[in-house]
């Protein structure tokens, strides 16, 4: 994977190029050049292939150039949702973004996602984000005794909330939301997506508890339909549409 390009490039090998990463850094303990907690830009030049993703480039920096660089990643294949970051001023997953798609002629800007407190370099404190998700009670709520076998639903009933089941909780949407940036009071798009997944599930009976929570001052009404969330979602969820469906359910009283 990390084969370096040399003078005798074999036929068929992917072309390689030099790329500059400009990374927003912060060390809570400080370094020899920077005070504790100070935020600064640092540039790294690396050799990359056309098949490399931003995550591969970050690995190269961490493994070969500067081991103190901190970022989260787990599965590295766009499923775990650990490596959402702000790349060239847009929230994306580092593991799903190819360097060649980002104009490698210019430095590639990599920042932590906005609106959440930075802990170190690209790692942010996700707790406020998870707290919002917990508040909408993301678990099946039912009345009466549990059936002996599984709870059935038709394909059409399943289709109703199919889109919002795809969420991987990477926080790309919530940290792209201009309302979330302002005061951190807003639930954020992800919590509403998480609620949508249960509100429109025919097996669930806690819809109105969740809708009542989202009817709050910090709930869906803070949404200004900026569409940043829909644009940012690496899973292609129509987030703004889901939020509008929750608003509609609240306005009409029908689910």
What CA–CA distances, in Å, run from 163 to 66, 81, 174?
40, 17, 17
Angle between helix 189-199 and helix 239-252 axes, rounded to 10 deg:
60
Binding interface with other proteins (CB under 8 A): 134-135, 137, 179, 182-183, 185, 212-213, 215-219, 221-222, 247, 250-251
How many whole angstroms separate alpha carbon 168 and alpha carbon 243?
Answer: 17
Which of 180, 178, 250 lies closest to 218, judged by CA?
180
How many whole angstroms separate alpha carbon 114 and alpha carbon 90?
Answer: 10
| 247 membership: H or E segment, kind and range | helix 239-252
Which of 183, 161, 178 lies closest to 225, judged by CA?
178
What CA–CA distances, in Å, run from 1 to 13, 95, 104, 216, 241?
12, 15, 19, 50, 40
Contact 187, 210 (CB under 8 A): no
């Amino acid at each position: 994977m990390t084969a370096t390009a040399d003078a005798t490039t074999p036929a068929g090998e992917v072309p390689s190029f030099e790329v500059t990463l400009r990374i927003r850094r912060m060390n809570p303990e400080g370094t020899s050049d920077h005070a504790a907690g100070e935020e600064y830009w640092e540039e790294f030049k690396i050799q990359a292939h056309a098949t490399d993703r931003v995550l591969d480039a970050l690995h190269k920096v961490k493994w070969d150039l500067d081991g103190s660089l901190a970022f989260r990643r787990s599965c590295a294949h766009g499923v775990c949702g650990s490596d959402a970051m702000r790349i060239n001023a847009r929230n994306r997953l580092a593991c799903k973004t190819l360097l060649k798609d980002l104009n490698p002629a210019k430095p590639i800007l990599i920042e932590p996602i906005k609106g959440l407190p930075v802990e170190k370099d690209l790692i942010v404190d996700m707790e406020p984000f998870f707290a919002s998700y917990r508040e909408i009670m993301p678990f099946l709520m039912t009345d009466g005794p549990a059936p002996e076998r599984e709870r059935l639903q038709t394909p059409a009933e399943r289709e109703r909330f199919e889109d919002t089941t795809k969420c991987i909780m990477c926080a790309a949407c919530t940290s792209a939301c201009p309302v979330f940036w302002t005061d951190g009071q807003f639930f954020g798009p992800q919590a509403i997506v998480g609620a949508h997944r249960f509100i429109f599930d025919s097996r669930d009976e806690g819809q109105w508890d969740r809708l009542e929570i989202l009817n709050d001052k910090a709930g869906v009404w803070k949404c200004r339909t900026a569409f940043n969330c829909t644009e940012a979602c690496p899973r292609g969820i129509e987030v703004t549409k889901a939020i509008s469906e929750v608003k509609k359910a609240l306005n009409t009283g029908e689910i």
